[in-house]
A and B are shown apart, each in its own frame.
Chain A
Amino acid sequence: MRHHVEILDAKTREKLCFLDKVEPHATIAEIKNLFTKTHPQWYPARQSLRLDPKGKSLKDEDVLQKLPVGTTATLYFRDLGAQISWVTVFLTEYAGPLFIYLLFYFRVPFIYGHKYDFTSSRHTVVHLACICHSFHYVKRLLETLFVHRFSHGTMPLRNIFKNCTYYWGFAAWMAYYINHPLYTPPTYGAQQVKLALAIFVICQLGNFSIHMALRDLRPAGSKTRKIPYPTKNPFTWLFLLVSCPNYTYEVGSWIGFAIMTQCLPVALFSLVGFTQMTIWAKGKHRSYLKEFRDYPPLRMPIIPFLL
């Protein structure tokens, strides 16, 4: 028995589209595709369809006949605005810092005084910092291309401006001081740098291990969610104590970098990043608790036992 679907604007209740002869096992994704045919400016990624104008968005996988609707389903449409893919956003926001930091490292003209153009720092730690910073962003780019499995395809377009301002701005600010001709190396010298480097490397390995573990939880092309557990890799044992050890390791990396460079802007960047990641970790932790009855009770969102 075929269904009819009418799509109304959630704000104005205006009738936007009437689809007749829709198969009952059609998914929301298929309905979105049909809707795009009559309104090509609203491609599926920017459509939010819901049963109630103020309700939650229906998922692409939802099947029409499983929804609480009669043979004629009324769906409300909201335009999510221009969308951009997560992959695009990640690549752009990570390529920026990689490139920008190098501009300062090589002391490209017009940044520092002209007598410093294309000169090189005499401090070993400055060269090491460049390697670490560059490695970090190369790692992120490669993970975006080959490791991560995204639940959502897209995000609002304005996010790319916001995110790039944040990443690129901070990268420039940090790089300016670290590569400055008047840069002062760490107070405790090589000892401090060695310790910081150890922290950084351990946390980078840890972060990567978690990304791989999360990837293995989810088959390619799927959007399944499962509770992550420790694997044979010791870096993943942090899952025993924390819901989002990837964020824990990320904060650790930047603390390492801050100690290595003894640069206040790096410490501030770490603090801001920590604040944001804590918000995300708490959200993720709450979702886990809601979705899984048997979620391990010992786990905290981001800092073992504390936060």
Chain B
Amino acid sequence: MAAASATAVAKGNGGGGGRAGDASGTRKKKGPGPLATAYLVIYNVVMTAGWLVIAVGLVRAYLAKGSYHSLYYSIEKPLKFFQTGALLEVLHCAIGIVPSSVVLTSFQVMSRVFLIWAVTHSVKEVQTEDSVLLFVIAWTITEIIRYSFYTFSLLNHLPYLIKWARYTLFIVLYPMGVSGELLTIYAALPFVRQAGLYSISLPNKYNFSFDYYAFLILIMISYIPIFPQLYFHMIHQRRKVLSHTEEHKKFE
């Protein structure tokens, strides 16, 4: 779902032209000012570069090791850095330089950050699981395309290939990412139970209890209503965006 929502919801970080489903020619609102645009271009270029670093790191580690197991360690630091850095996108919405909803953007970034820190980082035993590779690859490809989409949109020069990729590859990448995420959370469960990780029980002076194990299960269950909604929203957007461009091309 962290994989799904990142592509589905983020209309932001792209200013004019970067909005999902907002095909050319229908926009009336002004984009961010020149300073904000320059900043956003730099931000999106840096993020594109960051996720490329992760992609390259994965490939090189695979070639060096000869197997696809435990590749997490080779890209752990840039993954943490660039995914956590995406929290800035919430700020961009809050200060208005990006026309997306703060709530939706927070939701999507937080779900990614949650998986990175509260699951993968916190439960060391899952770091060697193949499911981690599954979602890392899904996220990496998605983010490289998404950030380059925003970069080009801000510069008002969006190659059709990037638009096509953004609105097509999700069809495979979403389910792939969601599978990786769910399998990873599932793998973490026994270790959380065993260590009582992030859990507090009664009695205590704040009269509060929290069972992280139960919480993770609730998170997994929440994928059931949320993932289909995001997925079909993107499918709907795809039809709108790609067919609109087809029509425009006919008249060129």
- List A residues at the B interface (Cβ < 8 Å): 177-178, 180, 182-184, 187, 261-265
Contact = CB atoms under 8 A, between A and B. Distances in A.
Nearest to A263: B207
Nearest to B209: A177
A184 B205 CA distance: 6
Contacts of A264: 206-208
Contacts of A265: 207-208
A265 B207 CA distance: 8
B103 interface: no
B28 to A, nearest CB: 13
Nearest to B206: A264
A183 B207 contact: yes
Contacts of B207: 177-178, 180, 183-184, 261-265
5 contacts: A180-B202, A263-B206, A263-B207, A264-B206, A264-B208
B26 interface: no
Interface string B66-89: 000000000000000000000000
Interface of B: 202-209
Contacts of A187: 205
Nearest to B201: A182
Contacts of B202: 177, 180, 182-183
A129 to B, nearest CB: 11
Given A177-B202, A180-B202, A264-B207, 12 more contacts: A177-B207, A177-B208, A178-B207, A182-B202, A183-B207, A187-B205, A261-B207, A262-B205, A263-B208, A264-B206, A264-B208, A265-B207
B203 A262 contact: no
Contacts of B203: 182-184
Residue among B203, B205, B207, B209 with the highest chain A CB neighbour number at 10 A: B207
A184 B206 CA distance: 8
Contacts of B204: 184
Contacts of A184: 203-205, 207
A262 B206 CA distance: 6
A178 B209 CA distance: 12
A278 B95 CA distance: 20
A66 to B, nearest CB: 32
Contacts of B205: 184, 187, 262
Contacts of A183: 202-203, 207
B206 to A, nearest CB: 4
A50 B204 CA distance: 57
Contacts of A180: 202, 207
B101 to A, nearest CB: 16
A262 B205 CA distance: 7
A80 to B, nearest CB: 23
Contacts of A178: 207
A183 B207 CA distance: 6
Contacts of A263: 206-208
A182 B205 CA distance: 10
